[in-house]
């Protein structure tokens, strides 16, 4: 008999498939042929986003930076092409997007999901760890958006979805670097939304709460129990629940939504 986690995953997969089928039925003609790029797309939330976009009919490419084995496993399991580069590097971003455009068509949906943590209290936080998190979690959003924004504006269509965090909204002990980066994404999202709205490009953010990923699985059980106790729905979120929010914001049904932050945290933090 499947355990609770397996039942949640089975339910999430069925729900994701149902939502994807509904979106295809509503906007299939427009979706087919559109290319979506998910940064940090081979693991955790990024993997779920890439899979769910694929199931909704998009052509999907996923980027990664460090874990070759996980990327190859993801590619073999999904058939989604993977590309390795540093998303905080201007030249690497330009080269990778050009390669993806040549192979699969222009990037019309960009999901800035890549992120890392390097947690420490500020008085113990090194400059190296500060820069690493800011570069990957915030600067990468700038470099990726700057790479795709002009073509999106010229075509009169684009969807940019930035994955922030509950801790960018409320702060978190030991995460000044991460909280600063994720909060920065929210301001960036609003500003770019204002710049791009008249050109048919929407820019939105999603702020997930605590989601059942490998990163959260590393949290000591007692600490994890205390986190779940603070979530009104009484459980961790599933990666597919974030993915379904991305698919909605990427769809034509979300064309009147821009500059917004969709909070998906089980009621843990309300703003």
Q: Is 1 helix (H, G, I), strand (E, B) or coil?
A: coil
| Known catalytic membership, residue 64 | no
In 3-state terms the chain splits into helix, strand, coil percentages (rounded to 5) of 55, 15, 30
- Determine the Cα–Cα distance for residues 91 and 78; give it in Å rounded to an integer: 28
Q: Is 211 helix (H, G, I), strand (E, B) or coil?
A: strand
CB neighbours (10 Å) of residue 238? 22
Contacts of 122 (CB under 8 A, 6+ apart): 176
Cβ atoms of 14 and 29 closer than 8 Å? no
Q: Note the helical H segments in 105-250.
A: 127-134, 140-155, 166-170, 176-196, 214-217, 221-229, 239-250
Among residues 58, 64, 157, 178, the one annotated as catalytic is 178
Q: Is 208 helix (H, G, I), strand (E, B) or coil?
A: strand
In terms of Cα–Cα distance, which of 242, 154, 158 is closest to 205? 242
Catalytic residue positions, numbered: 178
């Amino acid at each position: 008999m499947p355990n609770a986690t397996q039942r949640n995953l089975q339910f999430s997969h069925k729900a994701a498939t149902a939502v994807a089928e509904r979106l295809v039925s509503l906007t299939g003609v427009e979706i087919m042929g559109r290319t979506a790029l998910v940064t940090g797309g081979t693991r955790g939330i990024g993997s779920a986003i890439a899979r769910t976009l694929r199931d909704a009919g998009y052509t999907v490419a996923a980027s990664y930076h460090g874990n070759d084995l996980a990327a190859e496993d993801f590619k073999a399991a999904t058939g989604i092409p993977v590309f390795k580069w540093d998303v905080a590097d201007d030249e690497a971003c330009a080269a990778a997007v050009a390669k993806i455009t040549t192979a699969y068509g222009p990037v019309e949906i960009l999901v800035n999901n890549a992120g890392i943590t390097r947690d420490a209290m500020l008085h113990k936080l090194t400059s190296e760890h500060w820069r690493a998190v800011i570069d990957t979690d915030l600067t990468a959003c700038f470099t990726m958006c700057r790479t795709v924004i002009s073509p999106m504006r010229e075509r009169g269509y684009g969807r940019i979805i930035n994955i922030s965090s509950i801790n960018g909204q409320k702060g978190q002990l030991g995460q000044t670097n991460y909280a600063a980066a994720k909060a920065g994404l929210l301001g960036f999202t609003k500003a770019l939304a204002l710049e791009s709205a008249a050109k048919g490009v929407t820019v939105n953010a999603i702020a997930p709460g605590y989601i059942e990923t490998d990163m959260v699985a590393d949290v000591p059980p007692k600490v994890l129990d205390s986190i779940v106790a603070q979530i009104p729905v009484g459980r961790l979120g599933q990666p597919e629940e974030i993915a379904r929010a991305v698919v909605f914001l990427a769809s034509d049904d979300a064309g009147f939504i821009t500059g917004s932050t969709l909070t998906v945290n089980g009621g843990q933090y309300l703003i």
